[in-house]
């Protein structure tokens, strides 16, 4: 298996597991700060046991990855609680744009013409989704935008550290999340009914998903990893719709279709006459 295909398969596996994240957050009835405390603590413990760095990780990049992931998690939980799951995950599709721009500026990575077109389509879909949001969803949509920006930053940090495995950066990230939750939560205890979902989320879904996704930037450009993450935008609302009967709105469906087109665009075969006409690197 080529490194490219290995990166694609690892990222896709991680995204499939991660698509259960929003559903589990909705199933947990505890206060969101209490949820964040336990989520961060369990994540740090589980990744600390499963992933130990074999080589010394770049300190600045590890800190950057940890801070970006902590911001991603906090804003994601707030967004899922304050707006619809469909809105949250489709707005999160802006992450490839941030990742691509940062990698172009900081890592000098070339962005293909079709990836630029895909990102433009992502932004068009994003605007369609937000156009259907009322004032009551503004805070949640804003949190989702911040989540997309911080996720793009994490992808670039992980890409810059290649070939190092940045999964161990999830340990300090989890501690940061737990610290923020600890300072904000009214109580740290959760109802007994939530314990199972919290355990599944903090010990299973989140660490497994991000350990897999963290491998992607070792083999793929940050922009392509970000585009693969858009699959969560399709699967996440589907689980919530099937289990909690929360259908996405019309604007979310239309915007999601636009984003899906953007996801597929860079992977469609280009006709030979187009390849001859497009300059190298496009």
> pLDDT by residue (tens digit) across 216-254?
877 887 667 767 777 787 788 888 888 988 887 777 777
How far apart, in whole angstroms, are the C-alpha atoms of residue 90 and residue 231? 10
Query: How many CA within 13 A on the CB side of residue 65?
Result: 28
- CA distance readout (Å), 64 to 160, 169, 173, 202: 11, 9, 10, 22
First-to-final CA distance of the chain? 25
Residues 6+ apart with CB under 8 A from 195: none
pLDDT higher than threshold 50 for residue 281:
no
Nearest Cα residue to 40 out of 176, 151, 154, 148: 176
Residues 6+ apart with CB under 8 A from 34: 181, 185, 186, 187, 188, 189, 190
pLDDT higher than threshold 90 for residue 175:
yes
Would you say how long the chain is, in residues?
Answer: 282
Residue 248 main-chain phi, psi, to 5 deg: -70, 150
Nearest Cα residue to 139 out of 79, 72, 84: 79
Q: In the prediction, which pLDDT does 282 show? A: 43
How far apart, in whole angstroms, are the C-alpha atoms of residue 97 and residue 275? 24
Token pair listed for 230? 């858009």
Domains of the chain: which residue ranges? 3-268
pLDDT higher than threshold 50 for residue 277:
no
The model's pLDDT over 51-104, given as tens digits with 9 standing for 90+, comes to 766 667 778 888 999 999 999 999 999 999 988 888 888 888 777 677 777 777
pTM of the complete model beyond 0.75: yes
207, with CB counted inside 10 A (0-12, 13-18, 19+), is buried
Average pLDDT, the chain: 81
Residues 6+ apart with CB under 8 A from 220: 4, 7, 8, 11, 228
- 270 band by pLDDT with thresholds 50, 70 and 90: low
The label of the residue with tokens 């930053």 reads: 153
């Amino acid at each position: 298996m080529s490194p490219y295909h290995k990166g694609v398969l690892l990222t896709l596996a991680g995204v499939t597991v991660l698509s259960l994240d929003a559903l589990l957050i909705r199933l947990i009835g505890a206060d969101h700060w209490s949820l964040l405390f336990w989520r961060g603590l369990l994540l740090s413990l589980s990744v600390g046991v499963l992933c130990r760095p074999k080589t010394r990780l770049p300190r600045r990049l590890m800190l950057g990855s940890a801070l970006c992931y902590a911001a991603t998690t906090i804003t994601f939980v707030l967004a899922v609680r304050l707006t619809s799951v469909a809105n949250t995950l489709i707005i999160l599709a802006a992450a490839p744009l941030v990742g691509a721009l940062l990698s172009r500026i900081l890592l000098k990575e070339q962005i293909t013409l079709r990836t630029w077109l895909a990102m433009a389509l992502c932004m068009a879909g994003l605007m369609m989704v937000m156009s259907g949001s009322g004032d009551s969803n503004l805070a949640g949509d804003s949190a989702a935008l911040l989540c997309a920006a911080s996720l793009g930053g994490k992808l670039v940090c992980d890409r810059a550290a290649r070939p190092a495995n940045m999964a161990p950066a999830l340990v300090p990230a989890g501690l940061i999340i737990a610290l923020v939750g600890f300072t904000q939560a009214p109580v740290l205890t959760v109802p007994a009914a939530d314990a199972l979902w919290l355990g599944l989320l903090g010990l299973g879904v989140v660490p497994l998903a991000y350990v897999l996704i963290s491998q992607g930037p070792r083999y793929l450009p940050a922009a392509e990893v970000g585009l693969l993450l858009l699959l969560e935008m399709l699967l996440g609302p589907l689980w919530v719709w099937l289990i909690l009967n929360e259908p996405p709105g019309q604007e979310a469906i239309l915007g999601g279709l636009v984003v899906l087109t953007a996801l597929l665009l860079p992977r469609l075969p280009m006709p030979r006459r187009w390849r001859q006409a497009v300059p190298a690197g496009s």
